[in-house]
């Protein structure tokens, strides 16, 4: 009985780019470290980055005191959760009881479960006429999963979208939100 030698698996590369020069290689052994380095090198040389998700921001209908699933009045923003009403301002501000007013400037949905709200507040004792927050809210967890202050003291807030990117600007540096998550 004749036995055959079992060959190790091979990856066939006809050209291999290594440190800027091209080498012709017919049989390269499949080694995980080599494949990993080749992948990293290829991603670096080709400048491949992660593709943006296919979802985009959609404006939420604002009808007086109802903004999407949120109900607003002068000092609170209520989300009706499975466990009852939640004032999301308690998750946004350290001391929501000092808010003179709360106003949703703009609201967007990103996919089926994410909302991004641009909220202005007047807080007693602050030198700015309006403090503006950008907040992301996840309806699956029923929580504010990210918040940030928008830089600037102006009353005017400019909000624009471009695919998966939301830009919030006052008179300071812009706040940029990707994929419905404030970081």
Question: Both 89 and 16 in a single domain?
Answer: no
Question: Both 135 and 171 in a single domain?
Answer: yes
Question: Both 170 and 108 in a single domain?
Answer: yes
Question: Both 173 and 87 in a single domain?
Answer: yes
State the CB neighbour count (10 A cutoff) for residue 85.
10
pLDDT reported for residue 14: 36
Question: Both 17 and 80 in a single domain?
Answer: no
Paired sense of beta strands 158-162 and 99-110, if any: unpaired
- CA separation for the pair 117, 134 (Å, rounded): 6
The answer as to whether 24 is a domain residue is: yes
Question: Both 61 and 100 in a single domain?
Answer: yes
Helix (H, G, I), strand (E, B) or coil at 89: helix
Closest CA to 159 of 181, 138, 183, 133: 133
Question: Both 74 and 114 in a single domain?
Answer: yes
The answer as to whether 183 is a domain residue is: no
pLDDT reported for residue 51: 44
Going residue by residue through the chain (183 aa), what tens digit of pLDDT does each one get?
555 555 544 444 434 444 444 444 445 555 666 655 555 555 444 444 344 567 899 999 998 899 999 999 989 999 999 999 999 999 999 989 888 899 999 999 999 999 999 999 987 666 678 899 999 999 999 999 999 999 998 889 999 999 999 999 999 999 999 999 999
For residue 130, give its domain range: 57-178
Report how many domains make up the chain: 2
Question: Both 124 and 70 in a single domain?
Answer: yes
Strand ranges for the chain from DSSP E: 10-11, 16-18, 21-23, 28-29, 57-59, 62-63, 66-67, 70-72, 77-81, 84-87, 99-110, 114-123, 131-138, 143-149, 158-162, 165-169, 175-178
pLDDT reported for residue 98: 87
pLDDT reported for residue 47: 42
């Amino acid at each position: 009985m004749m036995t055959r030698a079992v060959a190790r698996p091979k990856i066939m590369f006809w050209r291999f780019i290594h440190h800027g020069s091209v080498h012709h290689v017919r049989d390269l052994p499949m080694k995980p470290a080599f494949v990993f380095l080749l992948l990293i090198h290829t991603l670096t040389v080709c400048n491949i980055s992660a593709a943006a998700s296919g979802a985009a921001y959609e404006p939420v209908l604002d009808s007086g005191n109802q903004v999407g699933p949120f109900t607003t009045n002068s000092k609170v923003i209520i989300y009706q959760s499975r466990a009852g009403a939640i004032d999301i301002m308690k998750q946004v501000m350290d001391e929501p009881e000092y808010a003179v007013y709360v106003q949703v400037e703009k609201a967007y949905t990103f996919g089926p479960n994410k909302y991004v709200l641009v909220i202005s507040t007047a807080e007693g004792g602050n030198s700015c006429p309006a403090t503006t927050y950008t907040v992301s809210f996840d309806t699956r967890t029923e929580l504010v999963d990210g918040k940030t202050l928008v830089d600037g003291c102006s009353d005017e807030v400019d909000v624009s979208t471009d695919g998966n990117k939301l830009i919030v600007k006052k008179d300071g540096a812009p706040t940029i939100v990707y994929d419905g998550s404030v970081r």
